Amino acid sequence: MISTLIVTGLIVIVIIYVIVAYNGFVSLRERIKEAWSGIEVQMKLRYNLIPNLVETVKGYAKHESGTFEEVTRARSEAMANHGSPAEQAESENILTGALKSLFALAENYPELKANENFLNLQLQLSDVEDKIQAARRYYNGVVRDNNIKVDQFPSNLVAGTFNFIKAEFFELAEDEEAARRPVDVKFD
């Protein structure tokens, strides 16, 4: 009689654990989707700012068409990419490089650097970039939590049984050389 109660108790505990673990995986999967949606929203804001930025710079640097075309092409490719986070990160890295070229070009035009519209667009883009970084950190944190739970015992048994898998991190390439260099502070 006691052994039957013990076995029944253990079965109930296992069933409760499976339910709790399963619901935890469902929660993480939905948080990953929500976090990715946050990244997409910020990237769309970025994409919408870029044409205005290009047009503003074009007004001052008409003969720099190669840079404008590069930015426009990179923006189009990034917008069209709906692949994995790794594929999206690759497109975003190309776009970031093109934007760096555009801002480097702007350095050659003092009138442009003083233009209120350009400064406002630059500020908005900087704000969006900060929000993308925050959304990326949140997304990667949720992915980390999911991946740990997929790998840890005994939750890995539930993950395997119900086909919960590891998610991909969204990693943008960092310019390692620039990250190591001291920050230049200029007061104009």
Residue 178, pLDDT > 60, answer no
- The whole-angstrom separation of Cα 163 and Cα 159 is 6
Q: What is the model's pLDDT at position 174?
A: 62
* Long-range pairs of 172-175 with CB within 8 A, sequence gap ≥ 24: 172/89, 172/92, 172/93, 172/96, 172/136, 173/89, 173/93
17-31, 54-68, 134-148: least confidently modelled range = 54-68
Look at residue 163 and tell me whether its pLDDT is greater than 80.
yes
Q: Who contacts 67 (Cβ-Cβ below 8 Å, separation ≥6)?
A: 61, 98, 101, 102, 105
pTM recorded for the entire structure:
0.80
Mean pLDDT estimate for the chain? 87
Check residue 34 and give its pLDDT.
Answer: 96
Tens digit of pLDDT for each residue in 18-43?
999 999 999 999 999 999 999 999 99
Mean pLDDT of 72-92: 90
- Give the torsion sign (CA, 99, 179, 128, 173): positive
pLDDT at 179 over 60: no
Beta-carbon count within 10 A of 99 CB:
21
CA-wise closest residue to 172 among 109, 108, 103, 78: 78
Q: Which residue has the higher pLDDT, 29 or 121?
A: 29
- Give the C-alpha separation, 138 to 172, whole Å: 14
Highest average pLDDT, of 20-24, 95-99, 110-114, 115-119, comes from: 20-24
Mean pLDDT of 48-74: 85
Query: Which residue type, as a one-letter code, is found at position 55?
Result: E
What percent of the chain is modeled with pLDDT above 90?
57
